[in-house]
């Protein structure tokens, strides 16, 4: 009957609230035990005195009934948590002995009355999160907070990844999607689209323009070329005149290419690109050349090393920009979150979509993961030690159970008094 403190190896945390409950339990046990002792003293005094005066018989009956009620309720309360007086009495120490059954019953109770109940289904059916989330998110301080949480989550996710594994994954993806496929049909299709849309003409214009500007500003190059290729006996004047003529004709030709959209040089470029596209589709030699170029490109160790450095640099730059509240990326993220909050509150279609997805997710979670969630209760209880569980639960609810002992003493005393009074009146 002595109060049991919280066990040091309790499966529950020894919080200040738990320690306060333990102290309250000890106090209530002392009150119940004190009341039993008082009743025993009263009985011991009244029993020999009842022959002297009939009134003491009523006192003795009340004390006797109170002791019986107190002992019976002490037995009932104690039998929940341990064997009374250590005796192997059947159907005692119910919590330690029936711990696993209690966990299974609690699991079934939670599943049937909470997760599978009509209330839970009504809550899911009426779930509306869009307007509430939008109202919170449209406030800029909240958006800044959310952006900070996103940055922390991103850093945590990246910290959990292995750089070597990421680089291996990137190489595998590159091998699968860039190295293994045949480039020739794709490049041929690109060239054909360029030709069909006349997109290459801008490149031709750029080349002709810069070539013409360079030729116009470097006439001496023509003179030097003519001098190197002309005979030694050729007069310098003839070389100079020939160089000037070549320079003028070259500028004239480039100007013609620049002005005439149907110039023969432009048609030659078109024909060459068309032949190249056709060869990449149909010519085995051209296709083999493209594949050799591709293989040499991706086999280059410098390219692989650059790709690895690029991933690390990109990762660090993105994380730093996300966490820096003065960066353009962070401000853009905050602005996007604020805009999302405004749309969640003002766009009925978006609200309906978000709420519908939230309901579907909640319903799926309840149906798919509800048994797993409630199963945690049974598994957790199964891992507890029976004695530890009984001692800890007694400290959790035992204080209120001591009122049963006190009430049993009072009810027993009244019952004993009533029985003695009725017997005296009858007999």
Q: pTM of the prediction?
A: 0.46
Flag whether 109 is in a domain: no
The domain tally of the chain equals 3
Helix (H) or strand (E) holding 217: helix 200-217
Q: In 94-182, which residue ranges form alpha helices assigned H by DSSP?
A: 94-97, 99-110, 118-125, 130-137, 140-159, 163-174
Show Cβ contacts of residue 8 under 8 Å, excluding neighbours closer than 6 positions: none
For residues 74-92, give the mean pLDDT: 86
**Sign for the pseudo-dihedral over CA of 216, 217, 223, 226:** negative
Contact between residue 130 and residue 344 where contact means Cβ atoms under 8 Å apart: yes
Q: Tell the burial category of 54 from Cβ atoms under 10 Å away from its Cβ (0-12, 13-18, 19+).
A: exposed
Predicted confidence band of residue 1 (pLDDT cuts 50, 70, 90): very low
Flag whether 8 is in a domain: no
Q: State the pLDDT at residue 360.
A: 84
**Containing domain of residue 406, as a range?**
16-97+385-426
Q: State the pLDDT at residue 14.
A: 63
Q: State the pLDDT at residue 3.
A: 43
Taking the C-alpha atoms of residue 268 and residue 118, their distance in angstroms, rounded to an integer, is: 78
Residues 400 and 362 in one domain: no
User: Which of 375, 393, 415 is the C-terminal boundary of a domain?
Assistant: 375
Q: Tell the burial category of 239 from Cβ atoms under 10 Å away from its Cβ (0-12, 13-18, 19+).
A: buried
Q: State the pLDDT at residue 235.
A: 80
* Per-residue pLDDT at 165 exceeds 60: yes
Predicted confidence band of residue 13 (pLDDT cuts 50, 70, 90): low
Contact between residue 78 and residue 96 where contact means Cβ atoms under 8 Å apart: no
Residues 307 and 340 in one domain: no
Range among 167-181, 320-334, 371-385 rated most confident: 320-334
Chain center to CA of 235: 86
Torsion of CA 404, 407, 411, 413, to 10 degrees: 110
Residues 59 and 82 in one domain: yes
Predicted confidence band of residue 116 (pLDDT cuts 50, 70, 90): low
Residues 55 and 22 in one domain: yes
Residues in the chain: 427
Taking the C-alpha atoms of residue 108 and residue 374, their distance in angstroms, rounded to an integer, is: 8
Lowest mean pLDDT among 10-24, 51-65, 79-93: 10-24
Residues 203 and 262 in one domain: yes
Flag whether 102 is in a domain: no
Contact between residue 212 and residue 255 where contact means Cβ atoms under 8 Å apart: yes
Q: What percent of the chain has pLDDT over 90?
A: 21
Q: What is the DSSP letter of 222?
A: H
Range among 94-98, 179-183, 410-414 rated most confident: 410-414
């Amino acid at each position: 009957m002595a109060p049991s403190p919280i066990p040091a190896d309790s499966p529950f945390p020894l919080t200040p609230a738990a320690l306060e409950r333990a102290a309250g339990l000890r106090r209530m046990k002392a009150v119940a035990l004190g009341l039993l002792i008082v009743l025993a003293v009263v009985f011991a005094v009244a029993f020999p005195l009842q022959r002297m005066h009939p009134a003491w018989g009523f006192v003795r009956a009340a004390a006797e009934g109170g002791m019986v009620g107190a002992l019976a309720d002490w037995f009932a309360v104690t039998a929940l948590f341990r064997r009374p007086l250590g005796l192997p009495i059947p159907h005692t120490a119910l919590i330690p002995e029936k711990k696993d059954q209690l966990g299974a019953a609690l699991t079934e109770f939670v599943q049937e009355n909470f997760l599978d109940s009509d209330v839970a289904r009504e809550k899911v059916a009426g779930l509306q999160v869009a307007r509430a989330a939008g109202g919170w998110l449209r406030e800029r301080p909240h958006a800044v907070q959310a952006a900070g949480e996103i940055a922390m989550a991103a850093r945590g996710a990246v910290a959990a990844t292995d750089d070597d594994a990421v680089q291996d994954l990137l190489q595998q993806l590159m091998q699968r999607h860039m190295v293994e496929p045949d480039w020739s049909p794709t490049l041929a299709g690109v060239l054909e689209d360029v030709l069909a849309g006349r997109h290459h003409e801008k490149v031709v214009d750029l080349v002709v323009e810069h070539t013409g500007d360079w030729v116009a500003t470097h006439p001496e190059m023509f003179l030097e070329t003519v001098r190197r290729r002309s005979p030694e006996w050729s007069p310098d004047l003839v070389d100079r005149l020939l160089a000037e003529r070549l320079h003028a004709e070259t500028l004239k030709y480039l100007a013609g290419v620049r002005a005439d959209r149907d110039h023969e040089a432009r048609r030659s470029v078109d024909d060459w690109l068309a032949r190249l596209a056709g060869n990449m589709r149909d010519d085995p030699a051209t296709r083999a050349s493209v594949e050799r170029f591709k293989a040499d490109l991706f086999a280059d160790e410098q390219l692989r090393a650059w790709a690895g450095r690029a991933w690390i640099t990109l990762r660090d730059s993105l994380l730093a920009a996300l966490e820096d509240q003065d960066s353009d990326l962070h401000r853009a993220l905050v602005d996007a979150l604020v805009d999302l909050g405004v749309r969640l509150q003002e766009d009925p279609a978006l609200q309906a979509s978000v709420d519908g997805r939230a309901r579907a997710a909640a319903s799926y979670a309840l149906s798919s993961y509800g048994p797993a969630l409630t199963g945690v209760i049974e598994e957790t209880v199964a891992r507890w030690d029976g004695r530890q569980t009984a001692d800890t639960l007694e400290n959790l609810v035992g204080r209120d159970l001591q009122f049963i002992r006190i009430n049993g003493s009072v009810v027993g005393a009244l019952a004993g008094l009533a029985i003695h009074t009725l017997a005296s009146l009858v007999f």
